[in-house]
Chains A and B, each alone.
Chain A
Amino acid sequence: MNKRVWLSVVALAIGAGLLVSAGFASPASSKSSSGGKHGAKGGTLRVDLTSDFDFIDPALSYFSHGWQMEYATNCKLLSFPDKEASAGGTKISPEVATGLPAVSPDGKTYTFTLKKTFKFADGSPVTAQSFAYALNRDLLPKMVSPAIDFMGDIKGAQAVMDGKAQTASGIKAVGNYKLRISLTKVAPDFLARITMPFFSAVKVGTPINPDGVSAPSKGTACGPYYVSEWVTKRTATLSRNTFYKGGRPANPDQITYNIGIPLPAEELRVINGETDIGGFPTADAANLYNQYYVALGKKLNTGSKPSFVLRNQATFWYLNMNQDQPLFHNNDKLRQAVNWAIDRPQMVRQHGAKAGVVTSQILPYGFPGHNPKAVYPTVASKSPNFTKGKALAGPNLRGGKCQFWTFNTSFGPAVAQVVQYDLKQIGLNCEITPLDRVVETTKGGTKGAQFDLLLNGWGQDYPDPYDFINILLDGSGIKPENNVNLSYFNSPKFNKLMAAASKKSGAARYAAYAKLDHDLMAGPAPLAPYINTKARIFVSKHVGCYVYSQTYGSILNAACVS
């Protein structure tokens, strides 16, 4: 053989060898955490993220990992304890407020008395003016805050949102440590809403800037930590707020983020102890569960190996069916057909092992107002039902072509292809367009967007069915941009029913929402839910204690590293 052939053979062998050895490569190592003892304060908690925060400004941050960070850095009038859900972690409790507010006899005015011990990370005190400023700042049109969806019933809020006023008449600081908020109508979910990070205190004078504050964020941090550094798309650091005396745990000395780490790398880094909390490819969920699972209440595998924990989430994933476009506009039968035809168990499988539970309802299992009686089947023997789907779709296909938007990472493309395959069986041919997640939600949230189906997920902002049904499906709130009602569902009949349900309280409220969930899915079926997800968290052997919040995810300030 001549020299060139030998070289070619060697090159081929090297290339094939590299392919195989790529499977055994491990990422570059990072500094290991210097920690305190297991269970004690100290050390650096390291967190890996695949994508960056959208903002670190509490008025703007709306990503789930952003809220996880906000929970460690903000302080709010009311919040949740740093405990698991089963230990009372979902119970609304006073944080900066001395107790639950005094409510006026008409139920529309809430007066909070504040503790005098809270301080921002720069040492300045947290006062009633801090909260009043934060709420008014959220309302200002220049901020473009998503919070306005939750503030429309505050007196004077509309005037600020319309640019006619700088402050809402219903938000008043009475002295330094009393805050009064007046509503235009009774809102039984108001106390739950006020727990959102949008309504945490910010220092008076924090700039009105739609780009949000940058690091160091001392003026917007009155919790156990503040964001001391944020190199966008690279790293972020939370340092202890030395002025914090709020009583919440602040176990790690520091919390560091590495941003933009691919999921396979995150998994390896957790296993090797190079990071403490990280993700993993969905395909590895079964393997990690089999090797490292630790049940709730049991001790983590600290010191020996990583731990894989599962927690319930109030989150569901679903298909939006755009009623602003001709295909699904006034076409209840076709929307019902989609709900019958999609293979929910197969869609759930694309999320990976232990990802969650099949559902066909809007309110998650265990959530207040969840209706145990589902309209559409969820078991593999009955879902999908192409016969029923074809019967409903047949005369209502309107050309039978649809545009399906999904996000281009993780399970997005796989779920979309399952749906595409299923809908083809009932005569609906969908073309899939995978988009960046931010692009998908931004474009999808603009009225007039040219999609028919869109894959989306929604997790609770606060534990009330209003946050699911009204926020996602009340058509009276549709605006030109930044919509979350991506089905553009606007039924006067159901808008009234949703408004009526929102005025009820207690068991009557939950019963009303349970009926709404059922009637929405049986009738107009604006969504096609398919999974209630569980949180799957992978932590390293250095993590000694770990607590999960249904609203905020990993409670970072309560974690401890060895």
Chain B
Amino acid sequence: MARDKDLVSSQAGLAAAVAVESGPGLGEGTEPVRARSYWEQVWIRFRRDKVAMASGFFIIFLVLTAIFGGPLAAHLLGHGPNDIFFSGVNDDLLPVGPWTHVQTPEGGTTLFILGADGTLGRDEFLRLLYGARVSLEVAVLSTMGVMIIGITMGVVAGYFRGWIDAVISRIIEVTMAFPALLFIIALAATIGQRLNNITFGVFGKGVVTLILVFTVFGWFYPARIVRSSVLSLREKEFVEAARMVGASDLRIMRSHVLPHLVAPIVVVSTLIVAQYILAEAGLSFLGLGVKLPTASWGVLLAAAPEFYTSVPWLMLWPGLAVLLTTLAFNLLGDGLRDSFDPRAQH
């Protein structure tokens, strides 16, 4: 076997390596070698990463829960996420705890699995499930918008340099310096209502507003990171080689530069997903975004500190949801990064 290893290590070739691995005797019982495509190799590497796979399954589970979980649970429990129950609040006017049966106005009882959400006596579990949809819509779509614009601007600025880079960099700086919070307050006070009514027939009221606001004020962050990466990548030999064989700028950016940006793109994306879940609560507070009584994780988290000395678990449920989601995206992102670029150092 030591000799076989020597054969492999002395670069005897792929066929020889396969022959060694597949068993004794060249040509006996070996299957024909099929070259794997780039994406196949990515998938194989990704599949080997059990943590990334688990994260992926968790995210799929989360998406399915966001779409189907809420309505199914509401049907089984017999009440909705916005139904107010007088008896969901105890004599001290605090929400009841987990696994409490509360009285319905019709005289029966219903179960609050995670207790009530606050002084309104609504079901925290259902609001968590329904909130998943809003939070994921806002976080994922905002991230996509931010990354598309940020990557485009960053790549163009870093690749072309010169006056294009100067203009884009100034736009980035203006966006960074812009008093976004004041603008958002002004927006809420003026055309906020009209903006919130834009749904495209698919989204809830206020979701599109949030996505727009986050995208407009968030793209500069990945743009700067991508720009600095591209500034160094454009000097590499493979870019020069591509130019020499006549590849257009667009082809070079798309096929040679962009693949090397997967790692930072994935890392930044996973970081800002969680950021936008929390930021969504802040904008709802200012009058933009999801309309009351629609639940979202951010809104649930924003309301929880009111009760942190008396009912601290109210912070736990949406906090855990955000934590696990962020962790899943981060681990998935790590796995994707390693799958795309296995030479990258851990």
Contact = CB atoms under 8 A, between A and B. Distances in A.
B93 A353 contact: yes
A431 B82 contact: no
Contacts of A522: none
Contacts of B44: none
A350 B88 CA distance: 13
Contacts of B189: 435, 439, 443
B33 interface: no
Contacts of B300: none
A432 B56 CA distance: 37
A417 B292 contact: yes
B232 interface: no
Contacts of B331: 8
A501 B309 CA distance: 49
Nearest to B285: A408
Nearest to B50: A5
Contact of B119 (A5, A267, A349, A434): A349
Contacts of B192: 433
A417 B121 CA distance: 11
B247 interface: no
B59 interface: no
B308 A264 contact: yes
Contacts of A408: 285-287
In which size bucket is the chain B interface? 35 or more
Contacts of A2: 51
A343 to B, nearest CB: 9
B47 to A, nearest CB: 15
B40 interface: no
A353 B50 CA distance: 51
Given A19-B320, A349-B93, A421 B310 contact: no
Interface stretch (A85-93, A276-284, A477-485): A276-284
Contacts of A283: 93-94, 118-119, 306-307, 310-311
A421 B319 CA distance: 27
B30 to A, nearest CB: 32
Nearest to B311: A283
B242 interface: no
Interface string A345-371: 010011011000000000000000000
Given A8-B331, A19-B315, A439 B185 contact: yes
B315 A23 contact: yes
Interface string A147-185: 000000000000000000000000000000000000000
Interface string A107-135: 00000000000000000000000000000
Contact of A418 (B84, B185, B305): B84
Contacts of A75: none
B92 A421 contact: no
Nearest to A433: B287
B93 A285 contact: yes
B92 A287 contact: yes
A420 B310 contact: no
Interface string B191-234: 01100000000000100000000000000000000000000000
Contacts of B292: 413, 416-417, 420, 432, 434
B60 interface: no
A352 B307 CA distance: 12
A22 B315 contact: yes
B86 A346 contact: yes
Given A420-B293, A435-B287, A287 B320 contact: no
B268 to A, nearest CB: 18
Contact of A286 (B93, B287, B315): B93
A414 B312 contact: no
Interface in B102-123: 118-120
Interface in A434-452: 434-436, 439, 443, 450
Among B118, B287, B311, the most chain A Cβ lie within 10 Å of the Cβ of B287
Contacts of B320: 16, 19
Main secondary structure of the interface of A (DSSP, over half): helix
A231 interface: no
A20 interface: yes
Given A283-B307, A287-B310, A443-B189, A11 B327 contact: yes
B291 interface: yes
A213 to B, nearest CB: 26
Contacts of B82: 421
In which size bucket is the chain A interface? 35 or more
Given A16-B320, A434-B292, A418 B307 contact: no
Nearest to B122: A417
Contacts, number: 119
Interface string A1-44: 01011001001100110011011000000000000000000000
Given A12-B327, A16-B320, A417-B120, A436 B293 contact: no
B308 A434 contact: no
A180 B14 CA distance: 109
Contact of A15 (B285, B312, B327): B327
Given A15-B323, A421-B84, A436-B185, A8 B287 contact: no
A20 B315 CA distance: 8
Nearest to A408: B285
A450 B91 CA distance: 38
Interface string B314-332: 0110011001100100010
A381 to B, nearest CB: 12
Given A15-B323, A19-B323, A408-B285, A431 B310 contact: no
B334 interface: yes
Interface string B148-159: 000000000000
Interface string A439-483: 100010000001000000000000000000000000000000000
Contacts of A287: 92, 309-310
Contacts of A285: 93
Contact of A4 (B51, B89, B307, B309): B51
B285 A20 contact: no
A58 B311 CA distance: 42
A8 B51 contact: yes
A495 interface: no
B188 interface: yes
Interface string A259-290: 00011100100000000000001111111001
Contacts of B119: 282-283, 349-350, 352, 414
Nearest to B293: A417
B3 interface: no
A403 interface: yes
B258 to A, nearest CB: 26
Given A22-B308, A431-B291, A436-B185, A418 B92 contact: no
Nearest to B118: A414
Contacts of A417: 84, 120, 292-293
Contact of B306 (A5, A23, A282, A403): A282
A353 B188 contact: no
Interface string B68-85: 000000000000001010
Nearest to A422: B84
27 contacts: A4-B51, A8-B327, A11-B327, A15-B327, A19-B319, A19-B323, A20-B316, A22-B308, A23-B309, A23-B315, A263-B306, A281-B305, A282-B119, A283-B311, A284-B309, A352-B93, A352-B119, A353-B93, A417-B292, A418-B84, A420-B292, A421-B84, A433-B287, A434-B285, A435-B189, A439-B185, A439-B287
Given A23-B315, A349-B93, A417-B84, 16 more contacts: A23-B308, A264-B309, A281-B309, A283-B119, A284-B309, A286-B93, A290-B92, A408-B285, A416-B292, A417-B293, A421-B82, A432-B292, A432-B293, A433-B287, A434-B287, A435-B189
The 9 closest A-B pairs by CB, nearest first: A286-B92, A23-B312, A432-B292, A19-B319, A281-B306, A15-B323, A283-B307, A23-B308, A417-B293
